[in-house]
């Protein structure tokens, strides 16, 4: 467990599913405004996401997938998920950050940096870590570059909310 100021980073449990879903939806609605179709973002519902998160958290360790939450004052304000690399060209020991999201009220306060440090530490020194980011999400791309990730030249179109959006792969290590 890592303590930073008033934020605690800890492994998530199934009991965190509803809080993670809340952060996930709020983050998407703010971060992807103007990128992902508005109708899709408006229709996101934490109550529908929570059971999906509960199932993911239940089976995560069996699939070598770990999720951490950032907690402040007993409230989940962010989360990150790390698992095996899923791309065809991923090596046996490669890891992938599947998600890292914060409540928009926490942006710029160092919480994402603390989550990223936890994830990178868990992956281990010298481990190749990859992640995918929407090409238009400049805020996230800047954050990843500041944390040692660089685009590796691989891109793909992904269906998101009824639109085909360009994603860029970043790597570290």
What is the residue-level pLDDT of the chain in tens, covering all 173 positions? 544 458 999 999 999 999 999 999 999 999 999 999 999 999 999 999 999 999 999 998 888 999 999 999 999 999 999 999 999 999 999 999 999 999 999 999 999 999 999 999 999 999 999 999 999 999 999 999 999 999 999 999 999 999 999 999 999 98
Q: Which residues contact 132 (CB under 8 A, 6 or more apart)?
A: 156, 158, 167, 168, 169, 170
Q: Which of 66, 148, 68, 70 is CA-nearest to residue 110?
A: 70
* 56 domain-assigned: yes
* 167 domain-assigned: no
Q: Residue 106: give the domain boundaries.
A: 2-123
* Phi, psi for 92 (deg, rounded to 5): -55, -40
* 58 domain-assigned: yes
* 146 domain-assigned: no
* 138 domain-assigned: no
* Phi, psi for 15 (deg, rounded to 5): -65, -15
* 172 domain-assigned: no
Predicted structure pTM score: 0.93
DSSP class of residue 44 equals -
CA 116 to chain centre: 9
Report the distance separating Cα 51 and Cα 53, nearest Å: 5
* 88 domain-assigned: yes
* 117 domain-assigned: yes
Conformation bin of residue 51: beta by default, left when phi > 0, alpha when psi is -120 to 50: alpha
Report the distance separating Cα 159 and Cα 27, nearest Å: 19
Report the distance separating Cα 79 and Cα 165, nearest Å: 23
How many domains, the chain? 1
CATH number at residue 51: 3.40.630.30
């Amino acid at each position: 467990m890592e303590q930073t100021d008033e934020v605690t980073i800890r492994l998530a449990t199934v009991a965190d599913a509803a809080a993670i879903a809340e952060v996930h939806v709020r983050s998407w609605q703010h971060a992807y405004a103007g990128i992902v179709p508005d109708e899709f973002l408006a229709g996101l519902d934490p109550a529908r996401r929570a059971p999906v998160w509960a199932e993911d958290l239940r089976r995560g360790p069996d699939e070598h997938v770990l999720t951490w939450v950032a907690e402040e004052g007993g409230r989940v304000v962010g989360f990150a998920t790390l698992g095996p690399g899923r791309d065809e060209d991923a090596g046996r020991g490669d890891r992938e950050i599947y998600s890292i999201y914060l409540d928009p009220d926490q942006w710029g306060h160092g919480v994402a940096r603390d989550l990223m440090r936890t994830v990178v530490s868990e992956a281990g020194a010298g481990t190749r870590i990859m992640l995918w980011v929407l090409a238009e999400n400049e805020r996230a791309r800047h954050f990843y570059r500041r944390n040692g990730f660089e685009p590796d030249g691989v891109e793909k179109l992904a269906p998101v909310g009824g639109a085909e959006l360009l994603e860029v792969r970043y790597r570290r290590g």
